[in-house]
Amino acid sequence: MKKTINIKLNGTDHSVEVEPRKLLVHLIREDLSMTGTHIGCDTTSCGACTVLIDGRSAKSCTILAIQADGKEITTVEGLATAGGLHPLQEGFKENHGLQCGFCTPGMMIRAVELLGKNPNPTESEIRWGISGNLCRCTGYNNIVKAIQYASAKMRGAELPSTEPEFV
């Protein structure tokens, strides 16, 4: 038996009928066409499906869509504004923080929450903050640099070097 839920996705209200067992990641990707949220493991191990739910990061592959009823969801598509890229998106671009790009949306969303709680994290705090999100390509150095760049930009501080580290 389907149930109607109401969510706000990236600032837009949606009323959607869902099966009780439908996962939030499938609602976002299949029903609402926000394909930036990736499906990687279905076990919360990789973090590719990370979204913000009422401002807190969560792995949408193990959350039922009906649990999101009445919630505000933000995906990577919701980060950019009419004014341009979010500082994290810019940071990943400027610092070569991605290779294949599969983990990037989840990393960015996780970093949004991290920087919201700690606007000036140390390298160690960044590495700990994104430790639930796996990248199989980069070795994390440029991801950390991208988050440091976004942190500085959001605080109005001097931007760190964008020279890539290749390992």
Q: Where are the domains of the chain?
A: 3-78, 87-155
Q: Distance between alpha carbon 6 and the CA centroid of its chain, in Å?
A: 21
Yes or no: say if 152 and 135 are a contact pair by the CB < 8 Å rule: no
Name the residue type at position 30: E
pTM value is 0.92
Helix (H) or strand (E) holding 89: helix 87-94
CATH assignment of 87-155, among 3.90.1150.10, 3.30.1240.10, 3.40.50.720, 1.10.150.120:
1.10.150.120
Cα dihedral 87, 93, 96, 102, rounded to 10, equals: 100
pLDDT in tens, 56-102: 999 999 999 999 999 999 999 999 988 899 999 999 999 999 889 99
pLDDT at 164: 61
**Residue ranges of the chain with per-residue pLDDT less than 50:** none
CATH number listed for the domain at residues 3-78: 3.10.20.30
